[in-house]
């Protein structure tokens, strides 16, 4: 692979992405990884990412210095360039003028790094420090107005540094420069294809699992379904999926999801635990309390099934962003406890199997497609583990679940009909615990309010409300008020996240 040493840049994942897009497998590793560890992975090249620190500060993160003796091609990006400069004897200092945004790059010297590119183009900068003296044996290849050493390289060794960010879309020819580095400097081979990934994973899963049994909580979501399909290929019926119906699913969802699982021949067991969940939720109004109850009850049900099956491993559809993001954000505040199946592994002392932990979401979709996972699953919007319980504000009652199911189903059905479902990131209805006055056919009504929510987002961390057409909203409003008994008012949520969140609880 190509290894990306992580110095904490917000773009680390983007660097890894770009390299994979060029057909070369890449992995992100912590900046302090020792040379021995790095060599075990047989890297084509090593990239030092950007980061928020300053190399001249006392506790600045710096890589193992023996890195530069390996004769493996190295590319330092932004902070990475500064780390190279600092460690090899150059000088880095606070820039008089910080540089954020567009800058004109002027190429000064021909080099494989710029092959096929014009001699001047725009690049994207974001730095407060700069190189003020090159290390010995280095030369400058390109500069910008504020960064005389915008691209540098060692005269003999394949060690490069760039002050700008080739990985971001705003840098012209960013991808071409990365490709030049990978294929002309590092002589990397194109080896990242989904078919290869599938073959390799199946082999690894077999190795790891042997004859043991593996259990998985199936929800019908993209990640768990694709993880399941992949693992099923590897170990067949030593895998069991547990599909817990907690009574908080959407209209027709249980049947739909079951239908998909059956079509894929998945070995799974459906457990109808809706009574249990609803009983335990009786009288509970607080959102976090609801989450806790649902989480614990889920674990209880799942644990029993797992014991019956004799499972020793737990399969989870963890993705790369989950892995990288959970790797060290300290002091982050808990806004909502997103349980998913979190907490399961510790509590059940099962070994974890996470075959997708190297992948990004769109890569998972691609794998899913190759494995024959139906489009209907690959396209599905995210759905929270606690389900409709957090979309009924306040206490969850059976009759309210039914009202919400009908309203939500109309909204989703119309989104699909109007070709809008795939354009929004997530959409749903919520049921508010208030009544309002209306008039229907000359009669006063006093009924419930349904809120519609549709958002555009990339990862759910931030979101904006979707600008759905007025005619569409009008049509959905009409259908809901006419067809769903107990509702006489529909509102559309126009809050962004932040300051609101996507769900209402
Ligand atoms: P919020 O409401 O935090 O939602 O902006 C962001 C994304 O997370 C989903 N979500 C949850 N998922 N358990 C889950 O598995 C939860 O408790 C939970 N709460 C919110 C939400 O649907 C959105 O996609």
pLDDT at 191: 83
- How does pLDDT run across 156-169, given as a tens digit for each residue? 999 999 999 999 98
- How does pLDDT run across 391-435, given as a tens digit for each residue? 999 999 999 999 999 999 999 999 999 999 999 999 999 999 999
User: 76 vs 154, 159, 165, 413, 446, CA distance in Å?
Assistant: 12, 8, 10, 50, 65
In sequence order, what are the residues at sequence separation of 6 or more whose Cβ sits closer than 8 angstroms to the Cβ of residue 147? 99, 103, 125, 127, 130, 131, 163, 164
pLDDT at 343 over 70: no
pLDDT at 194: 87
User: 404 vs 395, 482, 488, 505, CA distance in Å?
Assistant: 13, 14, 13, 15
CB-ligand 1 contact for 291 (6 Å cutoff): yes
| Alpha carbon of 384 to ligand 1 centroid (Å) | 5
Task: Identify which of 503, 504, 505 to mutate to test ligand 1's pocket (most ligand atoms within 8 A of the CB).
Answer: 503
Helix and strand totals (H; E) in the chain: 15, 18
Per-residue pLDDT, averaged over 204-232, amounts to 97
Whether 78 is catalytic = yes
Task: Let me know: does 177 contact 124? Beta carbons within 8 Å.
Answer: no
pLDDT at 333: 47
CA 243 to mean position of chain CA atoms: 23
Task: Identify which of 332, 344, 460, 493 to mutate to test ligand 1's pocket (most ligand atoms within 8 A of the CB).
Answer: 460
- How does pLDDT run across 316-330, given as a tens digit for each residue? 998 876 765 544 433
Task: Let me know: does 61 contact 51? Beta carbons within 8 Å.
Answer: yes
Whether 165 is catalytic = yes
Is the full-model pTM beyond 0.80? no
- Options 33, 99, 167, 253, the catalytic residue: 167
Q: How far apart are CA 449 and CA 172, in angstroms?
A: 50
The answer to the question of whether 224 is labelled as a binding residue is yes
E strand or H helix at 492: strand 487-492
Q: Helix 222-235 to helix 194-209 angle, to the nearest 10 degrees?
A: 60
- How does pLDDT run across 87-146, given as a tens digit for each residue? 999 999 999 888 888 999 999 999 999 999 999 999 999 999 999 999 999 999 999 999
CB-ligand 1 contact for 342 (6 Å cutoff): no
Task: Let me know: does 426 contact 454? Beta carbons within 8 Å.
Answer: yes
- How does pLDDT run across 430-485, given as a tens digit for each residue? 999 999 999 988 999 999 999 999 999 877 878 899 999 999 999 999 999 999 99
ipTM of the complex: 0.98
pLDDT at 241: 98
CB-ligand 1 contact for 462 (6 Å cutoff): no
pLDDT at 459: 76
Per-residue pLDDT, averaged over 292-300, amounts to 93
342 confidence band (pLDDT: 50, 70, 90): very low
pLDDT at 346: 64
**Average of per-residue pLDDT values in the chain:** 93
Could you give the domains of the chain?
A: 2-185 (3.40.50.880), 194-378 (3.40.50.620), 397-492 (3.30.300.10)
Task: Identify which of 338, 424, 430 to mutate to test ligand 1's pocket (most ligand atoms within 8 A of the CB).
Answer: 338
Task: Let me know: does 204 contact 345? Beta carbons within 8 Å.
Answer: no
Secondary structure string (H, E, C) spanning 158-205: CEEEECCCCCCCCCCCHHHHHHHHHHHHCCCCCCCCHHHHHHHHHHHH
Q: How far apart are CA 366 and CA 387, in angstroms?
A: 26
CB-ligand 1 contact for 15 (6 Å cutoff): no
- How does pLDDT run across 172-210, given as a tens digit for each residue? 999 999 999 999 999 999 988 888 889 999 999 999 999
253 confidence band (pLDDT: 50, 70, 90): very high
CB-ligand 1 contact for 63 (6 Å cutoff): no
Percent of the chain with pLDDT over 70: 94
Whether 167 is catalytic = yes
2 confidence band (pLDDT: 50, 70, 90): very high
User: 205 vs 197, 252, 319, 365, CA distance in Å?
Assistant: 12, 34, 16, 19
pLDDT at 403: 98
The answer to the question of whether 4 is labelled as a binding residue is no
Percent of the chain with pLDDT over 90: 82
Secondary structure string (H, E, C) spanning 396-454: CCHHHHHHHHHHHHHHHHHHHHCCCCCCCCEEEEEEEEEEEEEEECCEEEEEEEEEEEE
E strand or H helix at 39: helix 35-40
Q: How far apart are CA 126 and CA 416, in angstroms?
A: 41
Q: How far apart are CA 385 and CA 55, in angstroms?
A: 43
pLDDT at 337 over 60: no
Task: Let me know: does 184 contact 178? Beta carbons within 8 Å.
Answer: no
| Alpha carbon of 363 to ligand 1 centroid (Å) | 22
CB-ligand 1 contact for 177 (6 Å cutoff): no
């Amino acid at each position: 692979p190509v290894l990306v040493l992580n110095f904490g840049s917000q773009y680390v994942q983007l660097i890894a992405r770009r390299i994979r897009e060029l057909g070369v497998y890449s992995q992100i590793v912590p900046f302090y990884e020792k040379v021995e560890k790095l060599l075990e992975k047989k890297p084509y090249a090593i990239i030092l990412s950007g980061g928020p620190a300053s190399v001249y500060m006392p506790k600045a993160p710096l890589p193992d210095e023996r890195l530069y003796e390996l004769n493996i091609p190295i590319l330092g990006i932004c902070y990475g360039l500064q780390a190279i400069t600092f460690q090899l004897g150059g000088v880095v200092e606070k820039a008089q003028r910080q540089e954020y945004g567009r800058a004109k790059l002027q190429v000064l010297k021909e080099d494989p790094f710029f092959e096929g590119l014009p001699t001047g183009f725009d690049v994207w900068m974001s730095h407060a420090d700069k190189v003020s003296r090159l290390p010995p044996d280095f030369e400058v290849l390109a500069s910008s107005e504020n960064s005389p050493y915008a691209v540098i390289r060692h005269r003999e060794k394949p060690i490069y540094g760039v002050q700008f960010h080739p990985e971001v879309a705003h840098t012209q020819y960013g991808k071409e420069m990365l490709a030049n580095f990978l294929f002309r400097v590092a002589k990397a081979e194109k080896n990242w294809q989904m078919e290869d990934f599938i073959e390799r994973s199946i082999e690894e899963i077999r190795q790891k699992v042997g004859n043991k049994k593996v259990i998985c909580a199936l929800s019908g979501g993209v990640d768990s379904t694709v993880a399941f399909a992949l693992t099923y290929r590897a170990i067949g019926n030593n895998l069991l999926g547990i599909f817990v119906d907690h009574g908080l699913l959407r209209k027709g969802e249980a049947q739909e999801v079951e239908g998909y699982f059956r079509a894929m021949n998945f070995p799974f067991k459906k457990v109808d635990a809706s009574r249990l969940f609803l009983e335990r939720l009786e009288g509970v109004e607080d959102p976090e309390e609801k989450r806790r109850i649902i989480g614990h009850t889920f674990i209880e049900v799942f644990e029993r099934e797992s014991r019956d099956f004799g499972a020793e491993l737990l399969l989870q559809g963890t993705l790369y962003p989950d892995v990288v993001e959970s790797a060290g954000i300290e002091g982050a505040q808990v806004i909502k406890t997103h349980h998913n199946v979190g907490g399961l592994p510790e509590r059940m002392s099962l070994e974890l199997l996470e075959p997708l932990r190297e992948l990004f979401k769109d890569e998972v979709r691609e794998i899913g497609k190759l494995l024959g996972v139906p489009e209907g699953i690959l396209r599905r919007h995210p759905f929270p583990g606690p389900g409709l319980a957090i979309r009924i504000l306040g206490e969850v009652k059976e009759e309210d679940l039914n009202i919400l199911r009908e309203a939500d189903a109309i909204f989703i059905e119309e989104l699909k009909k109007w070709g809008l479902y795939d354009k929004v990131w997530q959409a749903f209805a919520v049921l508010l615990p208030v009544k309002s006055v209306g008039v229907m056919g000359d009669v006063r009504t006093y009924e419930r309010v349904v809120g519609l929510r549709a958002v555009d987002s990339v990862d759910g961390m931030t979101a904006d409300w979707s600008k759905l057409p007025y005619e569409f909203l009008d049509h959905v409003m009409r259908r809901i008020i006419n067809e769903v008994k107990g509702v006489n008012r529909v509102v559309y949520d126009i809050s962004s996240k932040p300051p609101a969140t996507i769900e209402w609880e």
